[in-house]
Amino acid sequence: MAGFNGNAVARNVRQGICKVDTTNWRPIHSGLTLGVNELPNRQWIKFQGRGRDTIRLAVRYVNQNADGTFTTPTMTAHDAIVYPSMAVIEEPISDSVRIYARAVQNGGTSGGFKVVAVEYS
């Protein structure tokens, strides 16, 4: 982000939707519906899982590999950070870290939900 009187401010922003289910880890970033990767030079991300209150959003963070790719997590969500539905998460994170998420049941039968992601650079 560019500096403005010593404070970081966004010069670019992109918003998109990610679909998350209970079976696979899915990347969370604004470019999925556009068929592109994270916003170049991203410095902040904000995301919100939208769904029923019987489902949670499990999140894992993955560093970029030396060849520029990311390795999708294969483990369960037991050691992941889990947020309730409708929670808004905002954190400083560069485009060399990818956030993966999956839905976790907390009763009920909803199989997944959407995540709205906004990236800033």
Which domains does the chain show, CATH number per domain? 11-120 (2.60.120.770)
- Contact between 26 and 102 (Cβ < 8 Å): yes
* Residue 34 φ/ψ, nearest 5 degrees: -95, -10
d(C-alpha 24, C-alpha 101), whole Å: 8
Distance of CA 89 to the CA centre of its chain: 9
Place of tokens 């485009």: 95
Q: List per-residue pLDDT tens for the chain, 121 residues long.
A: 455 556 677 889 999 999 999 889 999 999 887 778 889 999 999 999 998 888 899 999 999 999 999 999 998 888 899 999 999 999 999 989 999 999 998 876 667 789 999 999 8
Q: Which runs of E-coded beta strand occur in the chain?
A: 2-4, 7-9, 13-21, 26-28, 44-50, 55-63, 81-84, 88-92, 97-105, 112-120
